[in-house]
Amino acid sequence: MELEEIAKVLLRVAWIAGILPILVAFILSSSSRFHQLLSSFANRGKTFSLFTSNKFTVPQRFFLHFYVVAVVWTTLLLLITWLYAMDVELSTIANHLTDGESHIMSKRYIVWRTVFLLLLMEIQVWRRLYETVYVFKYSPTARMHIVGYFTGLFFYTAAPLSLCSMCAPEVVKFAFHCPAEFIVKGRYEVPFLKFDWSGFVNPVTKLGWFPWIGATIFIWGWIHQRRCHAILGSLREHKEHTNEYRIPHGDWFEIVSCPHYLAEIVIYGGLLIASGGSDLTIWLLFGFVVVNLVFAAAETQRWYLRKFENYPRTRGAILPFIY
Ligand SMILES: NC(=O)c1ccc[n+]([C@@H]2O[C@H](COP(=O)([O-])OP(=O)(O)OC[C@H]3O[C@@H](n4cnc5c(N)ncnc54)[C@H](OP(=O)(O)O)[C@@H]3O)[C@@H](O)[C@H]2O)c1
């Protein structure tokens, strides 16, 4: 097995290793020790304060680190994959003239679809970075467990990587090969840098139905998450007021307690559909997002019901009319 294949398997194993304990904890009763251990790792802010010890915790505003990592890493992957796509585009044209090999055509499709997925991810992580700085008012005393912190860092490294897992080995080889070619041949002899600029965009617009249906779902979730985050950010007037909590109203808050988590599931569902659904790694990424956020929503729902006597009983935790 080649090194790149091993990396792909490891990525899948990591997602499964993240999904299984959360699933088990979810199935077990909330009073079981395993469930409580997982909760202490996953809880943050208002739900974390249920646990007294601040040992092995970091400030919740460290959420910012996730999005800095996500923006830098996604942008880097996007740029390299885009340049690689240009390179493939040129070799497709050259090969098409001679024999039009179908495997080159399918490789070309996969690479441009990956560019499309990374573009969507880029839109998501930039907005989250902005919101973390300007919309949410993290209280100075809000904490999260160090395990939750490292899980977040892992997530925003592994998620963009998973979106390009179908062509990651080729992209990595290209990333190493490209600077060497540039140094040896100079700027005007590297083929994809001579390409017409419209060639950077045109292939993305010709990907067929799945990417565009997925992108529409993604944008639907994206818009609602932005609205729900704005509502959450407006609930606390001053950062210093640690215990200032209110019942949120408006948008999807009228149907579930954690519409921002629901919107996140819609966003990653959109990415999955845009990917065509043929890559197991992206399914596992989606699986992790679902179990992680359903688990967090259940904790939040319990907190709301304990905190507010007048909390609307018809609101589900996260999945409208189901849970
Ligand atoms: N993809 C993934 O696996 C994943 C994992 C985690 C998060 N995320 C995404 O990251 C986003 C933020 O998640 P999060 O868990 O940080 O959200 P959150 O805990 O619900 O809250 C975000 C901010 O709003 C405040 N807040 C929440 N409810 C409030 C209320 N009733 N009254 C006043 N203030 C309230 C919180 O204060 P407190 O800190 O005091 O609670 C915090 O400052 C979500 O959209 C989520 O989907 C994604």
Q: Which atom of ligand 1 is nearest to the CA of 247?
A: 31
Any idea where the domains of the chain sit in the sequence? 3-307
Q: Which residues of 104-113 are buried (b: 16+ CB within 10 A; e: fewer)?
A: beebbbbbbb
Strand 57-59 relative to strand 143-145, pairing? antiparallel
Q: How much is the CA Rg of the chain, to the nearest whole Å?
A: 22
- What sign does the dihedral 311-314-318-323 (CA atoms) show? positive
Q: pLDDT confidence of 320, banded at 50, 70, 90?
A: very high
Task: Give the model confidence (pLDDT) of 75-89 as tens digits.
Answer: 999 999 988 888 877
- pLDDT tens by residue, 119-164: 999 999 999 999 999 998 887 888 888 999 999 999 999 999 999 9
CB of residue 257 inside a 6 A radius of ligand 1: no
pLDDT tens readout for residues 34-53? 888 888 888 778 777 655 56
Model confidence over 19-30: pLDDT tens digits? Answer: 999 999 988 877
Confidence of residue 5 (pLDDT cuts 50, 70, 90): confident
Residue nearest to atom 25 of ligand 1 (CA): 232
The first and second tokens of residue 162, run together, are 């998973």
Alpha helices of the chain — where are they, by DSSP H?
3-27, 33-42, 45-48, 63-98, 102-134, 146-163, 168-185, 209-235, 259-274, 280-307
Closest CA to 90 of 186, 27, 174: 174
Ligand 1 close to Cβ of residue 144 (< 6 A): no
Q: Which atom of ligand 1 is nearest to the CA of 260?
A: 45
- Burial-class residue 146 by CB neighbours within 10 Å (0-12, 13-18, 19+): middle
Q: Which residues contact 268 (CB under 8 A, 6 or more apart)?
A: 285, 286, 289, 290
Nearest CA to ligand 1 atom 8: 261
Nearest Cα to 318, choosing from 271, 223, 253? Answer: 253
Residue 225 CB–ligand 1 contact under 6 Å = yes
Q: Does the pLDDT value for residue 184 go beyond 70?
A: no
Interacting residues of 198 by C-beta distance below 8 A, sequence separation 6+:
none
What's the pTM? 0.89
Q: Whose CA is nearest to atom 45 of ligand 1?
A: 260
Q: What is the pLDDT of residues 90-115, one digit of tens each?
A: 776 666 555 555 565 577 788 899 99
d(CA 254, CA 252): 5
Q: Whole-number mean pLDDT of the chain?
A: 85
pLDDT of residue 93: 64
Residue 303 near ligand 1, beta carbon < 6 Å: no
State phi, psi for 77 to the nearest 5 degrees: -60, -40
| pLDDT for res 244 | 79
**What is the rounded distance in angstroms from the CA atom of residue 84 to the CA atom of residue 104?**
13
What are the residues facing 44 on neighbouring strands?
144
| Whether residue 46 has its Cβ less than 6 Å from ligand 1 | yes
